[in-house]
Amino acid sequence: MSPAPERRGELLATAAEVFAAQGYSATTVREIADAAGMLAGSLYYHFDSKESMLDEILATFLDGLRARYDAVLAAGLGPRETIEALVTASFREIARHRAAVAIYQQESPHLRTHPRFGYLADAQQKFARAWLGTLERGVAAKDFRADLDIRLTYRFVRDTVWVAASWYRPDGQHSPEEIARQYLSTVLEGIAVRE
């Protein structure tokens, strides 16, 4: 009999919160089991290792983000609308996977050196291409200023958006869409061509 998928999801959510709070290396299987209200040995019924839990947490988050970005890019929007949609998609993923985002930010520099987590570098490159390509398209279309340093602008927008995982709470006062609108208003007034 295989473990119930709902229970597995609950355990991954618990592990993600513990990893995000304490760091992957500092977290023990016993601490995850304690947080989940079970014995450490029982956790191995669901996962073969702490590394497997981390892998599933990160892969699930990145697969969801990749799917959202792919949908945005496939929509055939103009550059400004694409930036708006990418920012909104990012905030929605922060809302869905806040702990996973924190783990990704804390752990990916170290994890990318391990073959099992090679997909982290691949995902980062793919996401960077989506943003950089959109910014370049926007400059070429004269939607964005011609004097933009594309790489610096990408890093600024990326970091401004993703740092929100450190303070965003799903039960907070603003929805992901409201936060995205506020960020976009600030960012686009600085990079959009004024008519």
Q: Dig out the tokens for 45 from the structure.
A: 């019924």
**Closest Cα to residue 120, out of 57, 67, 29?**
57
Give the span between the Cα atoms of 103 and 178, in whole angstroms: 24
**Closest Cα to residue 58, out of 91, 126, 12, 7?**
12
Give the span between the Cα atoms of 14 and 46, in whole angstroms: 13
Q: Dig out the tokens for 26 from the structure.
A: 């500092």
Other beta carbons within 10 angstroms of residue 62's beta carbon come to: 22
Q: Where are the domains of the chain?
A: 50-191
Give the span between the Cα atoms of 121 and 123, in whole angstroms: 5
Q: Dig out the tokens for 38 from the structure.
A: 């079970």
Give the span between the Cα atoms of 130 and 134, in whole angstroms: 6
Q: Dig out the tokens for 195 from the structure.
A: 């008519």
> What CATH number does the domain located at 50-191 have?
1.10.357.10
Which residues, including other chains, have CB under 8 Å from residue 10's CB and lie 6 or more apart?
Answer: 36
Q: Give tens-digit pLDDT for 73-82.
A: 999 999 999 9
Does the global pTM surpass 0.85?
A: yes
**Closest Cα to residue 101, out of 56, 51, 162?**
162
Residue 170: the pLDDT is: 78
Q: Give tens-digit pLDDT for 8-65.
A: 899 999 999 999 999 999 999 999 999 999 988 888 889 999 999 999 999 999 999 9
